[in-house]
Amino acid sequence: MTASTARYLRLRQICLAVPDLAAAMADLEAIFGVALAYQDPHVEAWGVRNAVYPFGLSFVELVAPLHDDTAAARFVRRGAARGAYMAIFNCDDPAPYRERARSLGIRIAAELAHEGFAGIQLHPRDGRATMIEFDHTPGEEDLRGAYYPAGGTGWTRALRLDRVAALPEVELASPDAAALAAHWSRILGRPVTEDDGAPVIAVELCRMRFVPGPSEALTTLTVSVDDPAQCLARAAARGSAVDSDRIRALGGVDFRVRRWGRRRRDAERLG
C-alpha cells in the first residue's frame, strides 16, 4: 500500500503551543463552550503538559512547556502569531507515509508506539509550516471510536456538538503559497486543487487552504459554531482582539468562526 492508495487520511487534530496551559484552557472553554476530553500524563516525557478538546469530531490540543529548554518553549517564544505547533493526521497505516517522507528526503523526528497506537512525526523544518504527524489508533475508523491522543475510549462524553460542530478548514501561509501546497501534496500524497484562486488540499474532515503570508505557518482554524457573534463577544470580553469573523492570535493562531450548516449535518451523520 502507498500513501496515495490508503483507505483514509484525516486531519483530525491541531496542536497549539501556549505559554500558560490553565489560561488557554479557560479561553477555549469560555469562548467556544467546549469540554476537556483528556490530559495525557505521558507527554511530560516531552517536557510539556497538555489538554485535548473535541471540536466536533476533530480535536484541538493545547501543550505548554514545563521548562525553557524544550522544543515547545522555543516555539512559544516566537510570539503571538507563531502558528500551530503540529497538524496530526489519522490514517489506516503510518508506514507508507514514513517511506514516502524518506523518499522525499524528509527527516523522521520521532516514532510513536503505545498500546497499539503507532505514529511518526516529521521534522518540523521539513514540514515547513508546522510539524506533521501521521498516526493510527485501532478502532478509530469509527469517528466516535477509540482515539489514543484523547485517552482511548470515553472521550465522546466531552462532545458538545450543540456548540461546535466541526473544524472544516485550516489555512497555511507562505511567501510562496503554491510551492508550500505542492510540498504538502507530495508529503500527503493528495492532489492540489483550487478554490477561489487559492491552492487547496482536501482530506477527510478538513481541508487545507494555502494563502500568501510573510512567513510559513499554519495560521488559521475555521470552526463551525452555533453562534459566531456570541463567540466573538465572549472572546472580546476575555481580552482577545476580534474582527468581523475571527478571533486573533488565540494560542498562536486565528480562529475564524462561522455558523454551522452542512458541516453540522456532516458531523452528525459521521457520528
CA distance readout (Å), 51 to 153, 166, 234: 16, 18, 21
- Reported confidence tier of residue 115, pLDDT bands at 50, 70, 90: confident
Q: Rounded mean pLDDT of 222-239?
A: 97
For residues 179 and 89, give the distance between their C-alpha atoms in angstroms, rounded to a whole number: 21
- Reported confidence tier of residue 3, pLDDT bands at 50, 70, 90: very low
pLDDT at 262 over 60: no
pLDDT of residue 5: 60
Position 4: which residue type? S
pTM equals 0.94
pLDDT at 214 over 50: yes
3-158 and 164-270, same CATH topology: yes
If one counts every other C-beta atom within 10 angstroms of the C-beta of residue 255, the result is: 27
pLDDT at 209 over 70: yes
For residues 158 and 132, give the distance between their C-alpha atoms in angstroms, rounded to a whole number: 25
pLDDT of residue 73: 95
Between 261 and 106, residue with greater pLDDT: 106
Q: Rounded mean pLDDT of 62-90?
A: 95
Sheet of 193-195, strands arranged across: 193-195, 198-202, 207-212, 164-174, 217-225, 253-259, 246-250
179 alpha carbon, distance to own chain's centre: 21
pLDDT of residue 87: 98
- Reported confidence tier of residue 122, pLDDT bands at 50, 70, 90: very high
Position 170: which residue type? V
pLDDT at 184 over 70: yes
> Who's near 93: CB < 8 A, 6+ residues apart?
1, 6, 136
**Mean pLDDT, the chain, whole residue set:** 93
Beta-bridged to residue 120, according to DSSP, are 111, 134
- Reported confidence tier of residue 260, pLDDT bands at 50, 70, 90: confident
Does CATH number 3.10.180.10 belong to domain 164-270?
A: yes
Q: Tell me the domain boundaries of the chain.
A: 3-158, 164-270
CA distance readout (Å), 177 to 131, 162, 183, 184, 216: 17, 35, 10, 11, 9
Give CATH superfamily name and number for 3-158. Answer: 2,3-Dihydroxybiphenyl 1,2-Dioxygenase, domain 1 (3.10.180.10)
pLDDT at 263 over 50: no
Q: Phi, psi at residue 240, to the nearest 5°?
A: -80, 145
- Reported confidence tier of residue 2, pLDDT bands at 50, 70, 90: low
pLDDT at 179 over 80: yes
pLDDT in tens, 105-114: 999 999 999 8
- On whether the CB atoms of residues 115 and 159 are closer than 8 A, the answer is no
